Structure 1
Amino acid sequence: MTQDIATISATPTPTASASEIIKHLREILQRIRSEQTRGTYAQPGRPIESDPYAALLACVSVSYADADEKWRTIASDPKAIAMLNKIKFHRDDAEYDAEIICSEDVIKNLRKPGVLSIRTLESFPLIGNYKLYHEIETNLLRGLGQKLDKPDLKVMFIGSGPLPITAWLLVEAISANPRSTMTCVELVPDANERGHAFFSAMLDQPTSPALPALLTRNSGQVRFITSNALALSPSTIASQDVIYVAAMVDRPSKRQVLQYLVQHMRADSKLVCRSGQGLKGIFGGYVESAWFDGTRGEVEMRAQSSRTFLGQVIVRIKPDSACHQ
């Protein structure tokens, strides 16, 4: 007898705390894996190992009548985020952290095709926590030695996808300077179009009252490019002060992408790998290792703090080896 998610997660706990929700999700996923192993799992589409975020969303959707509220409960509880990030998914030889709140699949499943619905904006905890997330992102740039009032600061995000939250949070910091730019680079045209639509929709949201006017006045500051990272010209890469690489950039090509970026970046620019935990093995050869919080090395890994689910690896390039890979 085959089972689907609704059958497997048929014991909802409507009043659960965030930690209880995560525990419930973990139990559901374990049962799904067991059903897959036995060949009795009937959920259509890709298996959970290759689409874990959509599966988690489905688990919540069928387990809780107030699924959106459950997501907000999880997103507002740092301990729950930490628990969620301990749920590992295996695809080939790679491990992926379940950073569910930032997941493209979550956003995709919360919206109708081509329409950025208010439900998505409510489910993603950006509006109510804008000041906190803005502080986190701007502090990261400052920690990298970047002056936000630099008149021509150039920031690029590789793999910005349909929900370019980092770009949105940073653009206010740079938009007061007309020559500063934020460039979103995405390989998939539809995802890039949705990312552009996200920016347009967010201009109507109550984040920073000054932001819509700034962006309207300096409309060329946020750019969306549909391109493979490897197709970016060396001069374009060299012109950037900070380059972010998204967590979901395909692992098989991520090493090649990073090597290409490192080869053409300026010596004083910075490379930030989103959600880099577990990926330090791909850096072997042109950086030495990774350390947690505050250790100054060729690579500094800033672990997730109790205040946020935003994880990143800050890569400091070794001049003597970076360009010879």
Structure 2
Amino acid sequence: MEHQDNTAATTAAIPADVRARVIEAANQLFEESGGVRFPVIADVRRLAKTDMNATSAVMREWKRQQTAKPEPVAVSVPEAVQQAAQESAATTWLAAQDLANASLRSAQASWAVERDEMESMRQELAQLYEAQARELEEAQQALGVAIRAKEEAERNAAELAERLNTQQSRADQAEARAKEIEHRAADLKEELARAHEETKAVRQELTEARILHLAETEQLKTVAAQQIEQARSELATFKGKAEAIQESQSQQIEQLQADLLQCKAQLATVTAEGKAAAQDAAREAKRSEGLQAERDQAQQEAAAARENAAHLTGQLEAVQSQSAALLERLNPKKANKP
């Protein structure tokens, strides 16, 4: 009786729409079987789309309705038996009725115990089924996650392989570029060494040209000073003779003095140009230590300095020639002496 109350309370907690779907599915499956056998709970659950506990509870109630519980019925003694033997028959009938009722109660008790065991087993099976269904769903979800993870891993592996190939290609390019830079650096070192050697040679040439120019300048100064001193000496020596013929050659002496002043101016110009050329050569020597282009320019300027020195040498020779002519003019007798 208590078990029936618990079952009633359990079924009462089930929503009406769930109960209606379960009963409708059970009736449909029972009719499809021709009323021969009760439908399986799993089929009813699948057709009604409900959970196992609600389906089992409603199916228990539905099965009780399909198989009404027998109730002990008091049956009166037939009239013929009463007439045959009222007391004996009544006693026998009551004993038989008690025995039947006892058997019925024993069967009901056994059936209640068996029903409780079946209910407990059903609940366990329902829980196991629900757990297995959850595990299956979780396994399917885990399988889906694993499949997606595998696909993601394959995509990542493909991307990593592509990135690895790209990095390898970049590494090869970088290595080739590094080798090219090393070759270029070696070439630049060789070119720099050659430039240093050429600059050193140009510097040596400029130094030699400067020394030569200074020597030539000093020589020009010495020669010019000697010639001027000689001319002054000779001029003083022949001054008396010049005064004797001053009237006849005054114009020539004035001309010679003008020529002498011009020679001095030319000598000063040559000296200044020599110093300027030396300074230019020194500046060009400093510039040649920098770039290759300045080295070429220094070589050109060194050549120009050499040409200038040659030009100055020519001017010196011209001054020497003029001085010689002046001396010859101042000392015509000495020039005509055999």
Shorter-chain TM-score: what band? under 0.3
**Larger strand proportion, structure 1 or 2?**
1
TM-score (normalised: structure 1): 0.17
**Larger helix proportion, structure 1 or 2?**
2
TM-score (normalised: structure 2): 0.17
